[in-house]
Amino acid sequence: MTHGHDGGIDGFISSYRYMPEQNWGYVVLLNSDNSPQALESLNHLAIDFLSKDFSKPQMAAINLPASELKRFAGFYAPRAPRSQLFAFLDDLAGGTRIRVVNGKLTRSRLFGQPEPLLYVGKNLFRGEKEPEGTTVFFVTQSGDWAVAGGGIPYSERSSLALPFVRIALLSLCLFFMLTSLPYALFWLFLKLIGAMKDVRHLSVRVVPLSATLTLLIVPLCLMRLGGTQFGSFNVWTVGIFLGTFFFPLLSILGLILVLRVPKEEVHRAVRIHSLLVSSACCVLTGFLWSWHLLALRLWAP
């Protein structure tokens, strides 16, 4: 791990290559690992530049019938995240789709364009511009297929429906939660003109809104963090802790309040909206719990 300050390298040694037969190698240093595509592109650029004076014989591609290639097809979910803090991103949009297109095996991101993979033998594949096989498929102890190499982290075959269900559910939850913000402005306007004097059970409105605002603190604090601040006790890491600590508490409290308040004492539209927002917050709490992101203490060892 290499750290720096004020624009220095605050990331790590992200990639290393050494070619003993050609007596050269290189190291790529990045200050962020949020873009595997960027690292892969840098690797290709470095190899192309350093090997421009060397011959690049490619391993001969072997033609396999589509029926044989289909056994490798499927969605492969990453099982070895490089960053535990942002591992949830792999659950949402990570993974690799392996498909047979026009009789050729292809790879792509969840929403990316397919790129051909050429079979070179023993479950080993290479890209069109690669000289040798870099992507290998193998059977796990559970008896299903896994893949690694060629820019693909260790991944196991999984259901393609799961990431789409997660994305759809989280998008719906975030939509309901964000609607509480303009709704709050409307309440504030009514409050200023004195139209809410006789309104009861304001907590049914305020608590779900507070949960949403509490969660919004987390990305704002994350954007201000950099370098060694991630692992130290400071105002931004404390903000992340407070946001991920109080959000689930307020989410559950909001749902309890809206379910317990008498129906005749709260406007129907207010009750339905608060129920949707509180339910969305509780669902998101479940996701954060599964990703180990509740009460997050970045300064803890």
- Please give the pLDDT value at position 41: 75
Instruction: Judge whether residue 8 has pLDDT over 50.
Output: no
Q: What topology does CATH give the domain 66-158?
A: Lipocalin (2.40.128)
What percent of the chain is modeled with pLDDT above 70?
A: 82
3-class DSSP state for residue 168? helix
Which residue ranges make up each domain of the chain? 1-56, 66-158, 162-290
| Pairwise CA distance, residues 86 & 119, whole Å | 33
Instruction: Judge whether residue 7 has pLDDT over 60.
Output: no
Contact 266, 204 (CB under 8 A): yes
pLDDT (average), residues 158-168: 91
**256-287: per-residue pLDDT in tens?**
999 998 887 888 888 899 999 999 999 999 99
**197-232: per-residue pLDDT in tens?**
767 777 888 999 999 999 999 999 988 887 677 778
pLDDT (average), residues 51-71: 80
- pTM above the 0.85 mark? no
- Please give the pLDDT value at position 279: 96
Return the sign of the alpha-carbon dihedral for residues 295, 297, 298, 301. Answer: negative
Q: What is the DSSP string of 237-264?
A: HHHHHHHHHHHHHHHHHHHHHHHHS-GG
- Please give the pLDDT value at position 34: 56
Start-end of H helices in 105-160: none
Closest among 274, 268, 153 to 203, alpha carbons compared: 274
User: Does 54 or 93 have the greater pLDDT score?
Assistant: 93
